[in-house]
């Protein structure tokens, strides 16, 4: 099994490229929900992912509902600065999905309202609104990997 990183309407190609590289390094799957704020042929996207794109399983969707319908038995966790619980308060398991919103707005409020028990956040000072998207994804997927014993990683 593997962990899954879902980006809902990502806007910045370099963030998505960096997350793709994290997916390649961890065996995680990358799920991209349209509309994307860039073309998948974008030079910045390709550069950020370096020559690791062949090692990433990328899945494209036209809506987040499509992701949930296709993976209806999976557990979903939603990253938000508006969450009450820290990511480290949860016990993750293989196959979990970590959902991130667009860089400028985060996830839609209705999605957060519908999933109050699955909202996760990273602690930070009040000097910033949020962490960088690619850093957030890496922090959470590596915590999940730590909890599951870094299976298949050396």
7 close to 31: Cβ distance less than 8 angstroms = yes
Would you place residue 30 in the very low, low, confident or very high pLDDT band (cuts 50, 70, 90)? Answer: very high
pLDDT of residue 1: 74
For residue 147, give both structure tokens.
């909890």
**Lowest mean pLDDT across 3-7, 11-15, 58-62, 89-93:** 11-15
In Å, how far are 1, 28, 36 from 57, measured between CA atoms? 13, 8, 17
Nearest to 42 by CA among 12, 8, 10, 13: 13
The label of the residue with tokens 């370096």 reads 50
pLDDT of residue 50: 61
């Amino acid at each position: 099994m593997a962990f899954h990183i879902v980006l809902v309407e990502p806007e910045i190609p370099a963030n998505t490229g960096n997350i793709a590289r994290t997916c390649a390094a961890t065996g995680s799957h990358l799920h991209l929900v349209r509309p994307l704020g860039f073309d998948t042929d974008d030079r910045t996207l390709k550069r950020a992912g370096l020559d690791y794109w062949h090692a990433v399983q990328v899945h494209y969707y036209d809506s987040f509902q499509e992701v949930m319908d296709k993976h209806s038995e999976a557990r979903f966790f939603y990253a938000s600065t508006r969450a009450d619980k820290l990511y480290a308060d949860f016990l993750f398991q293989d196959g979990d999905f970590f959902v991130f919103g667009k860089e400028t707005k985060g996830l839609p409020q209705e999605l957060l309202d519908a999933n109050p028990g699955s909202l996760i956040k990273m602690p930070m000072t009040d000097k910033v609104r949020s962490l960088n998207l690619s850093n957030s994804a890496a922090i959470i997927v590596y915590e999940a990997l730590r909890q599951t014993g870094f299976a298949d990683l050396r």
